[in-house]
């Protein structure tokens, strides 16, 4: 299964998804789809965004038929191969999924779909390799040891500062987030990180800051202090809330 086929599958199961996911989980799922739209035609960002969409679907029950097989195959490894989808396909999926009716009191769980044949054998290694490369790229950016939440250099909330798990150096926080004079998190960074749900998806938030952004005309992290803070916040909101 590739990204386009996953989008079509999600649209077919839009009513089931509203039943399988609670409201917070469904909002997170839509947020990850928005990031897929924002990824455009960059294969690396598409791969990371596809992985994030799949991760947001892990609450889907194991007896959810074809969708469960795509999300949970072989002990919850990813069975979706990332390909760059057309913007029309992503926007059509978002429109359908935003419009999916919220379930009233949940009824009995849907019976498992009949097995159509041999279990899919999509190879997840391609996605995993691309995502690993993207993580290495983000970890190569200037960073510092992460401070405990609540300390002056970490903000008051878990989402205030991005913390990336470096397998060699431990938790790291990218340097762009901090005022060079005070060492404290920049106000606009805290504001945008909260919009981006940086505590839930730190890699996605870091990729937004450190990747190219066609709407802003550059890497958001490099534009801090160069463009009005409101433009950075608006760009993050456009990603997270479009269509709500």
Chain mean position to CA 107: 29
**Per-residue pLDDT tens for 39-80?**
777 777 777 777 778 777 877 777 777 777 766 653 344 455
Q: What is the pLDDT of residue 123?
A: 38
Token output for 215: 């709407």
Cα–Cα distances in angstroms (integers) from residue 38 to residues 21, 31, 66, 136, 140, in the given order: 23, 11, 27, 21, 23
Q: What is the pLDDT of residue 229?
A: 93
Q: What is the pLDDT of residue 232?
A: 93
Q: What is the pLDDT of residue 128?
A: 56
Per domain, the residue ranges of the chain are 3-127, 141-241
Q: Enter the pTM of the model.
A: 0.54
Q: What is the pLDDT of residue 23?
A: 80
Q: Which residues contact 128 (CB under 8 A, 6 or more apart)?
A: 78
Residues of the chain with pLDDT under 70: 1, 70-82, 102-130, 241-244
> How far is Cα 200 from Cα 205, in angstroms, rounded to an integer?
9
């Amino acid at each position: 299964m590739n990204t386009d086929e996953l989008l079509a599958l999600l649209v077919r199961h839009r009513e089931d998804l509203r039943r399988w996911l609670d409201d917070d989980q469904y909002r997170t799922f839509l947020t990850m789809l928005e990031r897929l739209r924002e990824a455009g035609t960059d294969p690396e960002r598409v791969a990371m965004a596809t992985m994030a969409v799949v991760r947001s679907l892990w609450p889907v029950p194991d007896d959810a038929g074809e969708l469960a097989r795509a999300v949970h195959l072989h002990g919850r490894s990813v069975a979706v191969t990332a390909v760059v989808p057309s913007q029309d396909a992503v926007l059509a999926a978002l429109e359908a999924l935003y419009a999916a009716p919220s379930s009233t009191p949940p009824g009995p769980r849907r019976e498992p779909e009949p097995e159509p044949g041999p279990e899919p054998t999509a190879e997840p290694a391609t996605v995993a390799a691309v995502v690993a490369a993207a993580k290495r790229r983000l970890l190569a950016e200037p960073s510092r040891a992460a401070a405990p939440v609540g300390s002056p250099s970490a903000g008051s909330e878990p989402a205030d500062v991005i913390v990336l798990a470096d397998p060699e150096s431990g938790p790291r926080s990218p340097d762009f987030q901090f005022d060079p004079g005070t060492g404290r998190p920049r106000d606009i960074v805290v504001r945008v990180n909260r919009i981006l749900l940086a505590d839930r998806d730190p890699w996605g938030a870091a990729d937004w800051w450190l990747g190219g952004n066609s709407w802003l005309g550059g890497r958001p992290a490099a534009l801090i202090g160069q463009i009005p803070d409101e433009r950075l916040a608006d760009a993050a909101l456009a990603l997270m809330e479009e269509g709500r």
